[in-house]
């Protein structure tokens, strides 16, 4: 496997990890629209501020979001404008999902 392929594989694995949780997916989708403060994201997604902090730390570790000082607070944004376009393209994908797959009792994934 070439180095470029390994790098691409690792990047896609980070996306997979980010999207494996609905809250993290919601954060990325919200940030594709505009930068946001953690408290506002927590309120919008219906999670505690502690949970939001943990999810944002995970997304920072994956290199997908970054924190920017905003006075005494911090706001979050996507690390690269290409991420917003990539998310838009992913939203255009239509998937045919087996009813018992991906979280169902009979999931074999």
In a domain, 36, yes or no: yes
| Tokens 């980070």 found at | 14
- For 38, the domain range is 3-91
CATH of the domain at 14: 1.10.10.10
How many domains does the chain contain in total?
1
The pair of three-digit structure tokens given for residue 23, joined into one six-digit string:
């809250």
Give the chain's largest Cα–Cα span: 50
In a domain, 108, yes or no: no
Q: Are 65 and 81 in contact (CB under 8 A)?
A: no
pTM confidence score? 0.81
In a domain, 37, yes or no: yes
DSSP conformational letter for 64: S
In a domain, 97, yes or no: no
In a domain, 96, yes or no: no
The pair of three-digit structure tokens given for residue 51, joined into one six-digit string:
């949970």
Question: pLDDT tens digits for 47-99?
Answer: 999 999 999 999 999 999 999 998 999 999 999 999 999 999 888 887 666 76
Distance of CA 104 to the CA centre of its chain: 22
């Amino acid at each position: 496997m070439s180095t470029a392929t390994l790098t691409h594989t690792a990047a896609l694995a980070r996306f997979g990890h980010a999207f494996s949780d609905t809250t993290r997916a919601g954060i990325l989708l919200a940030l594709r629209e505009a930068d946001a403060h953690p408290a506002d994201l927590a309120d919008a997604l219906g999670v505690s501020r502690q949970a939001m902090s943990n999810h944002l730390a995970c997304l920072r570790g994956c290199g997908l979001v970054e924190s920017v000082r905003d006075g005494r607070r911090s706001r979050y944004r996507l690390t690269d404008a290409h991420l917003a376009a990539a998310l838009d393209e992913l939203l255009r994908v239509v998937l045919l999902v087996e009813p018992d797959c991906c979280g169902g009792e009979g999931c074999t994934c």
